[in-house]
């Protein structure tokens, strides 16, 4: 697992360069394979990487005794600034904009916002990194990495991201979520202020899970993912209140 979390630089660079050079052909191949499976499956998986859903999952699983939630807020802000900043800096066109719509399998409507890097993938790996840092067990790291990887893969299957978008989104997400969270664990925050901030974070995540309308509403898994997100957010809020009120 350590080799998985810290790959050799030469292997990593070679893989990244290869994916960059073969970006469009890899997209076409992977996207075509995904067309053999139900569209609803990819919609289900991809919606797990939506920010509102991912935060609800994290809220339900978060180790509040280790951190009240301030570090989660900081990591989330950093992740948002980095990913959105890069998207608008590079302004890479998504496959539906760059390619003929008849040349690949697109699920849902055309998305025209900047492509690089993949926000869903970054969000998934940020969440995976946070949970892996909080629960330093080998099987936990494997499970969260597999789940995050599937979310990244789904973005290609949906026809809305290039493989290089997904790769960089995964790397940035893991660095921010896993290593960023570990670094923040060395920083101490005012306990009273942390409690108030954490309460606000929990409330925002809960309200967002309840009120946010997920994309791909025309597919049946979407409504169930929304219900699940609300349930997980409620569970997370209950757990957070129990810990925060004791403090």
Q: Helix or strand or coil: residue 196?
A: helix
Quick one: 236 exposed, middle or buried, by C-beta within 10 A (0-12, 13-18, 19+)? buried
How many C-beta atoms lie closer than 10 Å to residue 187's C-beta? 9
Mean pLDDT computed over 1-17? 73
Q: How confident is the model at residue 4 (pLDDT cuts 50, 70, 90)?
A: low
Average pLDDT taken over every residue of the chain: 93
Alpha-carbon distance of 188 to 90, in angstroms, equals 36
Over residues 20-76, the pLDDT tens digits come to: 999 999 999 999 999 999 999 999 999 999 999 999 999 999 998 777 788 999 999
Q: How confident is the model at residue 9 (pLDDT cuts 50, 70, 90)?
A: confident
Over residues 145-164, the pLDDT tens digits come to: 999 999 999 999 999 999 99
Over residues 216-237, the pLDDT tens digits come to: 999 999 999 999 999 999 999 9
Task: Give me the half-sphere count of Cα atoms (radius 13 Å) on the Cβ side of residue 22.
Answer: 12
Supply the pTM of this predicted model: 0.94
The sign one gets for the Cα dihedral 241, 55, 186, 188 is negative
Over residues 94-135, the pLDDT tens digits come to: 999 999 999 999 999 988 999 999 999 999 999 999 999 999
């Amino acid at each position: 697992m350590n080799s998985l979390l810290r790959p050799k630089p030469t292997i990593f660079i070679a893989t990244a360069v290869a994916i960059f050079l073969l970006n469009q052909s890899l997209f076409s191949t992977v996207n075509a394979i995904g067309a053999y499976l139900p569209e609803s499956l990819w919609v289900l998986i991809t919606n797990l990487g939506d920010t509102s859903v991912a935060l609800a999952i994290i809220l339900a699983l978060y180790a509040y005794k280790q951190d009240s939630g301030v570090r989660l807020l900081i990591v989330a802000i950093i992740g948002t600034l980095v990913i959105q900043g890069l998207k608008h800096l590079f302004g890479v066109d998504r496959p539906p904009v760059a390619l003929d719509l008849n040349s690949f399998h697109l699920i849902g409507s055309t998305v025209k916002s900047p492509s690089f890097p993949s926000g869903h993938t970054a969000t998934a790996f940020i969440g995976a990194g946070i949970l892996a840092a909080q629960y330093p067990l080998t099987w936990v790291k494997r499970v969260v990495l597999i789940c995050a990887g599937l979310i990244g893969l789904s973005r290609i299957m949906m026809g809305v991201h290039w493989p290089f978008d997904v790769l960089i989104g995964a790397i940035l997400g893991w660095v921010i979520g896993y290593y960023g969270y570990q670094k923040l664990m060395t920083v101490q925050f005012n306990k009273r202020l942390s409690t108030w901030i954490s309460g606000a974070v929990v409330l925002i995540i809960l309200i967002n899970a309840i009120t946010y309308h997920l994309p791909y509403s025309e597919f049946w898994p979407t409504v169930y993912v929304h219900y699940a997100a609300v349930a997980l957010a409620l569970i997370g809020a209950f757990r957070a209140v129990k810990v925060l009120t004791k403090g």
